[in-house]
Amino acid sequence: MKTVRVCICWLLKLSGANWLFRHFNRHRVLILWYHGISQEGFDLLKGYDERHLSPSLFRRHLRFLKARGYQFISLDEYLEACSRSVALHKSVVITFDDGFQNVIENAVPILREAQAKAIMYVVVECAKSNQLLWTDRIEFWVRHHQSDTLQAKFSDGIVNYSLTTARAREIAMRDIKKRLRKMADRERQVTIERFAIPKESAAVFRIANFSELKNVDHGVLQIASHTMNHPNCANLRSEAEFNEEIGHSKMELQQVVGSQVRHFAYPAGSYNDRVVAQVKKFAYDTAVTTEAGFNDASSDPYRLKRVGTNGSFIMFQAMTSGSYFFLTQVLRRRKRGNT
């Protein structure tokens, strides 16, 4: 499937469609969605979902955009331009989700070199307690499990996974995460504790701690909230939960960075009207989703769209031009029309 996507992206490039769409979308704001920037040659995550890109690929992204006349702006500048009805021309906002330490270590020098800036959405409880995100704990557990079989105990029974090949490990990892995602947050926490995952440190997955968040140059990397515990916000029920995840995370981060925390990212893209109302209530100015697309002055600042990134540079070219979205939308519409 990935090969098909890459071939389509080559066609879009060679046909000139990327150039055309880039020109057509030049007044729409591109919000790029990253997670981490790992060390060069790091391949632990190969075959996973490529959330951590290499420094050379990240540098290539920035150089590519710069060479095409893009300017790197902050969300504050985007809002300011919208409020004054100033038309933005080829503007990009760079975002990093989750708060990985490798962003500070590896991305910040590259951002500085390109005179760019970015915003990082931090999971406060992980930054505070030096805990990995639950998804990364599962990833590390399955990837490094010594035996060829793994037993996972869920509330509705035990599942045995075969780990004989890299592919089998990937399938096990995805299945465990899928089962855990269906659970309420508390049940998920209890289930993961029952797995008794060894407390090894996977440095590449480490979330930046408070001192690192405080000391990073906020002119290059702005700090924003990604909740306290990375819950699916659409599953939150009580006012106390909203206060904790959306309100308290903002307060804690403000104490760390010593300035206003104005921006929010919905974990796993999970939100609904009630969540949006809560984000507004706690006086955030924007919230980003995981929905794919571009933004302009008419976009809802609490439902901003983003463009995801992965290890393929040819896909990056097509996705940042808008040609890829156009094509996938047309294909989806045709498919719906045929059913």
Residues that bind Zn ion (CB under 5 A): 97-98, 267
Nearest distance, CB of residue 135 and Zn ion, angstroms: 8
Separation between Cα atoms, residue 143 and residue 232, nearest integer Å: 25
Between 231 and 322, whose beta carbon lies closer to Zn ion?
231
Please report how close the Cβ of residue 21 comes to Zn ion at its closest, in angstroms: 28
113 φ, ψ (degrees, to nearest 5):
-55, -40
Of 97 and 105, which has the nearer Cβ to Zn ion? Answer: 97
Both structure tokens of 157: 């029974």
Pull the structure tokens for residue 309: 């990134």
Beta-bridge mates of residue 29:
295
Q: CB 123 → Zn ion: shortest distance, Å?
A: 7
Between 21 and 34, CB nearer to Zn ion: 34
Query: Which residue has its beta carbon closest to Zn ion?
Result: 97
Beta strands in 179-241 (DSSP E): 221-225
Assign 229 to helix, strand or coil: coil
182, 60 in Cβ contact below 8 A? no
Residue closer to Zn ion by CB (options 98, 163) is 98
Q: How far is the CB of 97 from Zn ion (least distance, A)?
A: 4
How many Cα atoms within 13 Å fall on the side-chain side of residue 134? Answer: 28
Please give the DSSP secondary-structure letter assigned to residue 28: S
Q: Provide CB contacts within 8 A for 143, sequence distance 6+.
A: 44, 169, 173
In angstroms, give the least distance from the CB of 168 to Zn ion: 26
Q: Which is nearer to Zn ion, 267 or 301 (CB)?
A: 267
Please count the other Cβ atoms lying within 10 Å of the Cβ belonging to residue 248.
18
Three-state DSSP state, 284 = coil
Residue among 74 and 270 whose Cβ is closer to Zn ion = 270
Find the shortest distance in angstroms from Cβ 279 to Zn ion. 15
Dihedral (CA of 231, 235, 237, 243) sign: positive
Among candidates 100, 117, 99, which has minimal Cα distance to 108? Answer: 117
CB of 304 to Zn ion, least distance (A): 15
To Zn ion, the closest distance from the beta carbon of 290 in angstroms equals: 9
Residue 18 or 289: which CB sits closer to Zn ion? 289
Q: How many residues would you count in the chain?
A: 339
Based on CB atoms, which residue is closest to Zn ion, 77 or 212? 212
